[in-house]
Each structure stands twice: as C-alpha cells, then as structure tokens.
Amino acid sequence: MANHKSALKRIRNNETKRLLNRYQHKTTRNAMKKLKELTDKKEAEKMFPEVVSMLDKLAKKNVIHANKASNLKSSLAKHVAAL
C-alpha cells in the first residue's frame, strides 16, 4: 500500500477517472448500437453527429485509440449513407 499522501491521492483520482471513462465508453457504445439499429434515414442523420462527437471525445482523452475512432466513424457513416 502507498505510504505518501500524494500516492494515496493519485489512487483516489485514478479510480474516479476510471469510472468516468468506463461510463462514457459504455454510453458511446450504446449510442452506436442504437444508431446501427435505426432504419429511418432522417433520424440516423440527426443522431450521427452526436455519436461522432462522443467518439472524438473518447479519442481525445485516450480512452480509445484515434485510429479506432476513425474506423468506427467511417463504418457508421457508411451505414447512414446506405439507408
């Protein structure tokens, strides 16, 4: 166990950040799943920028890799265009 005050604080901060990252990642995955299930093009086009924004935020915070975010955005864009 850590002996220094700063190390104890770091442990607390890491846990808080981990939980927030986990929540945001799961929320984004659910939004992507919901977008994939849509069949109405207008609804999908309305929701697409929100999901892209969520992915960009995850990539910016290094929760997911930037290339993975790009690949996911690309596949979602193809899906929306195909509707």
| Residue 40 is assigned to a structural domain of this protein | yes
Q: What is the mean pLDDT of the chain?
A: 95
- The whole-angstrom separation of Cα 44 and Cα 56 is 18
Say if CB 35 and CB 44 are below 8 A apart: yes
Say if CB 66 and CB 59 are below 8 A apart: yes
pTM for the model = 0.85
pLDDT at 2: 76
Distances (CA, A) of 51 to 7, 10, 27, 77: 36, 31, 10, 11
- Helices 41-60 and 5-37 cross at an angle (nearest 10°) of 160
| Residue 52 is assigned to a structural domain of this protein | yes
| Residue 19 is assigned to a structural domain of this protein | no
Q: How many domains does the chain contain in total?
A: 1
| Residue 42 is assigned to a structural domain of this protein | yes
At 29-45, the pLDDT tens digits run 999 999 999 999 999 99
- Note down the domain range covering 75: 28-83
| Residue 6 is assigned to a structural domain of this protein | no
| Residue 18 is assigned to a structural domain of this protein | no
| Residue 55 is assigned to a structural domain of this protein | yes
| Residue 38 is assigned to a structural domain of this protein | yes
